[in-house]
């Protein structure tokens, strides 16, 4: 993607969701309103004939983002528990402003818009007063600024809704990736904070004795599960305008990336899992910046039964975990800064941030049997000084690249395709439930 939201303001993350600590034993609803929706469109919009829209009635553009103000006419109700976002309980965020396009001589108008809960976990949809769904917003990360009572959703996947696909006469494009979004909003009323510093102390790291006085009881174990592999998206093709023209056109290499969700297990011996972004420091339990890695592959089975691997990714370095839908060990834990995946908590990574240069690297830098990254001498630390070199890479490096012809059913009649993903987690006791695939 040429434009990305950035989670770089990690100063916020130390106190993330501190205001939700009132609900330490039961769920609590909190309302948010006001702010703005920021759409960060990819080059896909241009290839669909939707260039710069006309901004009306308060809608605007800034630094490449299309901005729609969120009013105070309504509120979105969020369900929280232990400082963890559980679900979107109801309500809606009413949006001011309109976006207008001219498409093949006809007007496409977005007006009377609102953000409301979608059908998937922690999903929002951009709908109008006629209940037509224009965009799907999901796989979101979130943080808040406790000093200003702000809640921020970022790295949000922006996907095409059915109404938009119908307006383009391309119903098959419903659900396809269109870029990323960011939602900035605030609480109507600030809940009263309350800390429980002894809750889930000490951190249950992998290998830690469950009961030091009785070592025969055993040790805590990492067991992370991949719970959803949400298909894959063709992000771009290696052409002059990055667009893909499909069967019969230019046989260009294309980039494909997935969305994925995982959850930590919830057993008496389940360990917390370190999730520290690279170059962020030295942390327990391994004395480094340990984090999981995500890789994915694409296979084709031809009509004659031959199985071919037609695409493979580089490696995605995980960098934070949102800890949603938790039932224990809240985000208000004194040692939490969104870099620990707690037992029974969920995490998500969308198509957008699985296609971000700064989080991608070569597979060859990972020792898969120990799930350790060889930082020294890597593309990010070539001189081995422990500092990030921020290497310059293209939007086609360290990605799944395969030519359009490999997916062309006219060239491969009767073929079937399978997409596979795997989260590599250090000391995970069951590598198979961190793998998944779908046709």
Q: Quickly state the pLDDT bin for 331 (edges 50, 70, 90).
A: low
Report how far residue 75's alpha carbon sits from residue 117's, in angstroms, rounded to the nearest whole number: 12
The per-residue pLDDT for 414 is: 96
State yes or no: pLDDT of 20 exceeds 70.
no
Q: Quickly state the pLDDT bin for 147 (edges 50, 70, 90).
A: low
The per-residue pLDDT for 23 is: 35
The angle formed by the CA atoms of residues 363, 415 and 424, to the nearest 5 degrees, is 25
Instruction: Establish if 201 belongs to a structural domain.
Output: no
Q: Do residue 74 and residue 164 come from a single domain?
A: yes
State yes or no: pLDDT of 59 exceeds 90.
yes
The per-residue pLDDT for 192 is: 52
pLDDT digits (tens, 9 = 90+) for 64-81: 999 999 999 999 999 877
Q: Which of 141-145, 317-321, 330-334, 384-388 has the lowest mean pLDDT?
A: 330-334
The per-residue pLDDT for 251 is: 87
Instruction: Establish if 1 belongs to a structural domain.
Output: no
Nearest C-alpha neighbor of 155 from the set 112, 122, 132, 186: 122
Q: Quickly state the pLDDT bin for 335 (edges 50, 70, 90).
A: low
Q: Do residue 82 and residue 226 come from a single domain?
A: no
Instruction: Establish if 256 belongs to a structural domain.
Output: yes
Q: Do residue 79 and residue 124 come from a single domain?
A: yes
Domain that holds residue 61: 13-187
Q: Do residue 281 and residue 367 come from a single domain?
A: yes
Nearest C-alpha neighbor of 179 from the set 213, 149, 139: 139
State yes or no: pLDDT of 193 exceeds 50.
no
Which class for 202: exposed (0-12), middle (13-18), buried (19 or more C-beta within 10 A)? exposed
Q: Do residue 237 and residue 379 come from a single domain?
A: yes
Last residue of a domain, one of 187, 205, 230: 187
Instruction: Establish if 6 belongs to a structural domain.
Output: no
Number of structural domains found in the chain: 2
Report how far residue 255's alpha carbon sits from residue 355's, in angstroms, rounded to the nearest whole number: 9
The per-residue pLDDT for 190 is: 59
Q: Quickly state the pLDDT bin for 14 (edges 50, 70, 90).
A: very low
State yes or no: pLDDT of 295 exceeds 90.
yes
Nearest C-alpha neighbor of 344 from the set 262, 426, 433: 262
Report how far residue 180's alpha carbon sits from residue 65's, in angstroms, rounded to the nearest whole number: 10
Q: Which of 58-72, 79-93, 100-114, 370-384 has the lowest mean pLDDT?
A: 79-93
- Which residues, other chains included, contact 21 with Cβ-Cβ below 8 Å and sequence gap of 6+? 82, 83, 191, 193, 194, 195, 196, 330, 332
Instruction: Establish if 195 belongs to a structural domain.
Output: no
Nearest C-alpha neighbor of 341 from the set 406, 410, 266, 279: 266
Reported as type and span, the H/E element at residue 165 is: helix 162-167
Percent of the chain at pLDDT exceeding 90: 65
The per-residue pLDDT for 174 is: 93
pLDDT digits (tens, 9 = 90+) for 82-101: 667 788 999 999 999 999 99
What average pLDDT score do residues 259-265 get?
Answer: 94
Q: Do residue 43 and residue 111 come from a single domain?
A: yes
State yes or no: pLDDT of 153 exceeds 70.
yes
What average pLDDT score do residues 31-56 get?
Answer: 90
- Return the higher-pLDDT residue of 288 and 245: 288
Phi and psi angles of residue 281, each rounded to the nearest 5 degrees, phi first: 140, -165
Q: Do residue 135 and residue 221 come from a single domain?
A: no
Nearest C-alpha neighbor of 183 from the set 115, 255, 111: 115
Instruction: Establish if 199 belongs to a structural domain.
Output: no
Spatial contact of 45 and 180, defined as CB atoms under 8 Å apart: no
Q: Do residue 100 and residue 232 come from a single domain?
A: no
The per-residue pLDDT for 300 is: 97
State yes or no: pLDDT of 2 exceeds 60.
no
Last residue of a domain, one of 167, 187, 207: 187
Q: Do residue 145 and residue 266 come from a single domain?
A: no
Instruction: Establish if 5 belongs to a structural domain.
Output: no
Greatest alpha-carbon pair distance for the chain in Å reads 77
pLDDT digits (tens, 9 = 90+) for 204-228: 999 999 999 999 999 999 999 999 9
Q: Quickly state the pLDDT bin for 49 (edges 50, 70, 90).
A: confident
DSSP 248: T
Nearest C-alpha neighbor of 310 from the set 351, 253, 352, 350: 253
pLDDT digits (tens, 9 = 90+) for 337-365: 689 998 888 999 999 889 999 999 999 99
- Return the higher-pLDDT residue of 327 and 58: 58
What's the full length of the chain, in residues?
Answer: 439
Q: Do residue 431 and residue 287 come from a single domain?
A: yes
Nearest C-alpha neighbor of 33 from the set 84, 87, 96: 96
Q: Quickly state the pLDDT bin for 315 (edges 50, 70, 90).
A: very high
The CA dihedral of 308, 314, 317, 321, to the nearest 10 degrees, is -40
Phi and psi angles of residue 379, each rounded to the nearest 5 degrees, phi first: -65, -25
Q: Do residue 233 and residue 352 come from a single domain?
A: yes
Q: Do residue 169 and residue 250 come from a single domain?
A: no
Instruction: Establish if 208 belongs to a structural domain.
Output: no
């Amino acid at each position: 993607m040429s434009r990305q939201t950035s989670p770089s303001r990690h100063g916020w993350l130390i106190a993330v969701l501190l205001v939700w600590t009132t609900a330490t034993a039961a769920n609590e609803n909190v309302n948010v309103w006001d702010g703005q929706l920021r759409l960060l469109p990819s080059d896909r919009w241009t290839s669909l004939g939707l260039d710069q829209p006309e901004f009306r009635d308060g809608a605007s553009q800034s630094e490449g983002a299309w901005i729609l103000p969120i009013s105070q006419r309504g509120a979105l109700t969020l369900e929280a528990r232990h400082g963890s976002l559980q679900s979107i309980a109801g309500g809606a965020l009413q949006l001011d402003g309109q976006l207008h396009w001219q498409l093949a001589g006809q007007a496409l108008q977005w007006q009377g818009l609102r953000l409301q809960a979608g059908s998937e976990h922690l999903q929002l949809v951009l709908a109008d007063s006629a209940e037509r769904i224009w965009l799907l917003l999901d796989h979101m990360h979130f943080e808040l600024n406790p000093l200003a009572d702000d809640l921020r959703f970022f790295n949000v996947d922006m996907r095409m809704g059915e109404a938009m696909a119908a307006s383009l006469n391309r119903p098959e494009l419903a659900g396809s990736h269109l870029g990323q979004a960011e939602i900035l909003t605030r609480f109507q009323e600030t809940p009263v904070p309350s800390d429980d510093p002894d809750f889930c102390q000490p951190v249950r790291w992998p290998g830690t004795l469950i009961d030091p006085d009785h070592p025969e009881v055993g040790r805590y174990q990492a067991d992370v599960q991949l719970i959803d592999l949400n298909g894959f998206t063709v992000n771009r093709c290696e052409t002059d305008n990055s667009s893909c023209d499909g069967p019969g056109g230019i046989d260009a290499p294309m980039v494909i990336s997935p969305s994925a969700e995982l959850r930590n297990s919830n057993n008496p011996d389940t360990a917390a899992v370190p999730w520290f972004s690279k170059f962020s420091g030295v942390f327990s339990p391994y004395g480094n910046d340990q984090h999981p890695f995500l890789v994915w592959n694409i296979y084709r089975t031809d009509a004659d039964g031959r199985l071919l691997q037609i695409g493979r990714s580089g490696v995605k370095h995980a960098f934070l975990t949102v800890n949603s839908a938790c039932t224990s060990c809240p985000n208000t834990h004194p040692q939490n800064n969104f870099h620990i995946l707690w037992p029974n908590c969920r995490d998500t990574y969308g198509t957008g941030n699985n296609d971000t240069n700064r989080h991608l690297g070569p597979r060859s830098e990972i020792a898969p049997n120990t799930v350790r990254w060889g930082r020294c001498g890597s593309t990010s630390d070539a001189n081995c000084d422990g500092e990030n070199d921020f290497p310059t890479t293209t939007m086609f490096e360290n990605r799944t690249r395969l030519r359009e012809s490999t997916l062309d059913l006219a060239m491969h009649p009767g073929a079937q395709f399978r997409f596979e993903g795997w989260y590599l987690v250090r000391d995970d006791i069951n590598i198979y439930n961190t793998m998944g695939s779908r046709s």
